[in-house]
Amino acid sequence: MNIKKERLKLTPEQLFDIYLECNAPGAPAKTILERYGLRPWDLVAIRKRIKAAAIEALANPRRQGRKHQIIPVEQYQRVFKELSETKDALCAVGHELSLLKKRTS
């Protein structure tokens, strides 16, 4: 009778945590792996994947910052109109303020 242990589906974050835990100085890697139902060759595979991902990230640096987002034309026109109205209102308030300052001086 062959009884197989059920393997848990580990997330990438969990795999990376296991990798870090196993690479700590003096860490008992076999014990750590057994706790998660993994074998030593699984750690070798994790290390290869992490190394490949790190090399890929270093070889192809991406621009930092926000990703570009496509905005519908209607939304752009609505926001542009609102901005124009706000600018006009601010100009009017500034003009009124300058007139009031002239009257009080």
**Measured at the alpha carbon of residue 102, what is the angle toward residues 98 and 104, in degrees to the nearest 5?**
115
Phi-psi sector, 37: left (phi>0), alpha (psi -120 to 50), beta: left
Q: How far is CA 23 from CA 3, 5, 64, 65, 74, in A?
A: 31, 25, 29, 32, 53
pLDDT the model gives residue 1 = 45
Q: How far is CA 56 from CA 19, 50, 62, 68, in A?
A: 18, 10, 11, 22
DSSP string, 37-54: T--HHHHHHHHHHHHHHH
The 10s digit of each residue's pLDDT in 29-78 is 999 999 999 999 999 999 999 999 999 888 887 767 777 888 899 999 99
pLDDT the model gives residue 7 = 60
Q: Percentage of residues in the chain with pLDDT exceeding 70?
A: 90
Contact assessment for residue 13 and residue 2, using Cβ atoms and an 8 Å cutoff: no
Q: What is the mean pLDDT of residues 5-25?
A: 87
pLDDT the model gives residue 88 = 94
pTM here?
0.53
